[in-house]
Structure 1
Amino acid sequence: MYTLPNLTGHNLSPHDIVVVRRVFEATCSKICIQRPGDHADRLARFIVDEFGFGNTDEASLLECALWHETRGILPEAKRDSLVDMRTALARENHDLG
């Protein structure tokens, strides 16, 4: 089984650290994450890992971090409509095939 590398951020330059910190702070402020805390620690790890995987553009990294933190927080009505749309598309594709 393939496992992802254990990225820790040890190879970040001072400039990289500034970028990662700004993204972390902006995400915490936008989502109201308490610092320090387990949630903030997990977010920091996610951001550093994303940066290490090559997502080094600050705007892109922020968008990714915000998506990561909000992906499960859709209102129930929107969540249901997304599921219905996916089901309809899957049925349509099945009927065509």
Structure 2
Amino acid sequence: MTHELKLREIGAERQISVPIVYKGHSLKTPLFLDLFITKQIIVEVKSVEKLNPVFNAQLLTYLRLTDIPLGLIVNFGEQYIKNGFHRVVNNFPGE
């Protein structure tokens, strides 16, 4: 996926470290984003038969920690890839 984005000249970074800060205290283990596209969209890549609600919670946590409004879960485990895209929003304007 990253290769295809680069071919299209879309900036994408993989495995970006996100520190977890709780009440001013930085936790030892950071979180890692699967893809960060144009520093505006977080993409979590999965390959499962059925999406688990924890995936939405995970992505929403990433969005809140980074103050990014939009994220996508892309599930390559679906029969048709078009059915594998799931949008997650964090205080998106107009939502």
Bin for the TM-score computed over the shorter chain: under 0.3
Return the structure number with greater strand share.
Answer: 2
Greater RCO (Cα-Cα under 8 Å, separation 6 or more): 1
Q: Which has the larger radius of gyration?
A: 1
Task: Give the structure-1-normalised TM-score.
Answer: 0.26
Task: Give the structure-2-normalised TM-score.
Answer: 0.26
